[in-house]
Amino acid sequence: MKRNAFSVIMATNKENAIWKEAVEAETSTFKQNKGRRKAPFYKVLQGMPIAVDAFRYGKIPGVTAYFLTHAHSDHYTNLSSKWANGLIYCSQETADLIIHVLNVDPKWVKPLQNDVPTTIPSTGGVRVTVIEANHCPGSSIFLFEGLQTANAGDGSFTSPFIGSSRTFRYLHCGDFRASPRHVLHPAIKGKNLNHVYLDTTYLDPKYTFPPQPQVIAACAELAQRLSTLYSHSKGPGNDVQASTVSCTGVAPKSLGKTLVVIGSVSTLLPERWTYSVGKERVVGAVAKRLGAKVYCDARKAGVLRCQSDPELIAMLTSDPREACVHIVPLSLISAERLKGYADSWRDTFTRVVGLRPTGWTFSPPSGAGLVTDISSMLTKAQHRQFTWQDLRQMKGSNVNLQVYAVPYSEHSSFFELTCFALSVEWEKMIATVNIGSEASRAKMNRWFDCWKKEKAKRNEHIVQYRDIDYW
């Protein structure tokens, strides 16, 4: 094994001590640290005065640049109109969102152009490349390149590489859904990555779910079939007649129209509205296939308008009766709760189809979770296909109100994490999710070791993929 910064600081006997300190920092109270929570080591890049998704720690000692991967609340915690601790770097869409929704003063927000390496001021010359994360609109992964010039942060470790002439490369993945596009990106392909900060949300073989583009296509296909003339007794099978009753179509009056309701926005909290970005791809694909308008409340529409999706923005309408696709809070999408919603539009829509996109409630195929060897797991996963026929109706559905669970994830599956790890050159993986317990960290470390060994065995540098957008 190469002697590198991390093998020095993370020698097994030290690793747990460093994580222990990080967990203590994360759970520390304001009182213990004079009104400020301490930032754990993985929030500040080693040897660089840069923090990522670290807004809940106030002004972190030595940090001169704050990066935000995306506008999900667990990543921007504490970011508000009161922020005054330093410049925030992020994608243009994320910048628009935090200014529009969180009222962050624009003078602190520095949007960066995707895919163009940019030198960040006051960081000792660190260059960053912003790359689309394939998570939610505006989400990014960051590739940082530069020298180690400062021991910033609250950790007690000091890097031995400060002042050395060695260039370090860190890939921060925030939240992402790994795809071949990432590993083929010119900033990543063939480059030696010293640290990869990995979105380990689903780093467990039990998390097998279909590629997102297949799921999106399945939703669009299902919505179209259910909006099409068919015999009620037979359901939306292959025997569907071809004549479509779309929003704009000419269905016989007696059959009426179908409303597709898609869960996306979060619910309202008593004091502060929590907005949500994500799931837009399902909405866009379904509406496009149906040739339909999209309705959502004014606040969600405001959020959508911050996003660079002109096609979706053009489909928006403020008239719910004009739209065959509605975006509603995810919590509303159950047969029981959707009934009331369906009733309120009965004068216009005779049938309601609910789509509940969520990454958490799928049931994995039997046998998933048992990985005896990585190669056969990859082959098996690459042969799985997902079509509209795999979408399952939820409990309580009937002919006029059908609710479907959609296995839609905006994080990488275990299979995708494995493909990603086998396709990039890395020295050290740093988990950023499920890190609270020693047992969970040890379990993830075993997979990192497994990937290292498998990578050493393989001839191919990039795991063969089915499509540029998924393995």
Instruction: List contacts with Zn ion (CB under 5 A).
Output: 72, 175
Nearer to Zn ion, 303 or 403 (CB): 303
Q: How far apart are CA 292 and CA 300, in angstroms?
A: 18
Of 262, 263, 405, 279, nearest to 331 (Cα)?
263
DSSP string across 440-452: HHHHHHHHHHHHH
Of 181, 186, 245, nearest to 213 (Cα)?
181
Helix (H, G, I), strand (E, B) or coil at 49: coil
CB of residue 239 vs Zn ion: minimum separation in angstroms?
Answer: 41
Q: How far apart are CA 266 and CA 357, in angstroms?
A: 13
User: Which residues have C-beta within 8 Å of that of residue 6, sequence separation ≥ 6?
Assistant: 46, 194, 195, 427, 428
The single-letter DSSP state of residue 329 is: E
CA 443 to chain centroid, in Å, comes to: 22
CB of residue 237 vs Zn ion: minimum separation in angstroms?
Answer: 37
CA 419 to chain centroid, in Å, comes to: 17
CB of residue 135 vs Zn ion: minimum separation in angstroms?
Answer: 6
Nearer to Zn ion, 75 or 351 (CB): 75
Helix (H, G, I), strand (E, B) or coil at 194: strand
Of 318, 397, 412, 310, nearest to 359 (Cα)?
412
Q: How far apart are CA 427 and CA 443, in angstroms?
A: 18
